[in-house]
Amino acid sequence: MNDGKAAILLLKGVQELPLSIQHGYMDAGYDFVPIYQQLFALKAHSVIAYNKRGEGEWAGYDEHFALTCVRKHSYRYNSYDKKNQSLKYVRSKECAPLAKDSLCQKVYKVRIQTDLRRYTAPARGSEK
Ligand SMILES: [Zn+2]
């Protein structure tokens, strides 16, 4: 059996047990949307290596799916808002001195349900 399918069955089994998990740490061989969905259903965070599978670049975003500003600086992951299930990103340090410049907004948030695979908490590419 494929590892990804086995993981989904395992996670469904965990759901039936009187225990909880907070995180699912997996390698890129487990990078499948149903695994993220199953972890989300368990109220656990996904920490799964991203498998590009020949996907092209995402215009306006960096390689970790963080928004980039007009000057091509990536927004930095700041924190996870548990209540709203959203990631908070802040403007890059390079753009901070340009605080009055309306082209670089200070903060942006994205709900993880926008794309459970790309938006994990902590955010992809962050030190956390
Ligand atoms: Zn900027």
Instruction: For 58-117, write each residue's pLDDT tens digit.
Output: 889 999 999 999 889 999 999 999 999 999 999 988 887 766 666 788 999 999 999 999
Kindly give the distance from the C-alpha atom of residue 23 to the centroid of ligand 1, in angstroms, as a whole number. 33
Q: Is the pLDDT of residue 34 over 90?
A: yes
* pLDDT of the residue at 80: 97
Kindly give the distance from the C-alpha atom of residue 124 to the centroid of ligand 1, in angstroms, as a whole number. 20
Counting residues of the chain whose pLDDT is more than 90, the rounded percentage is 70
Kindly give the distance from the C-alpha atom of residue 86 to the centroid of ligand 1, in angstroms, as a whole number. 21
Q: Which residues contact 88 (CB under 8 A, 6 or more apart)?
A: 77, 78, 79, 80, 81, 107, 108, 109
Residues near ion ligand 1 (CB < 5 Å) are 69, 71, 73, 95, 104
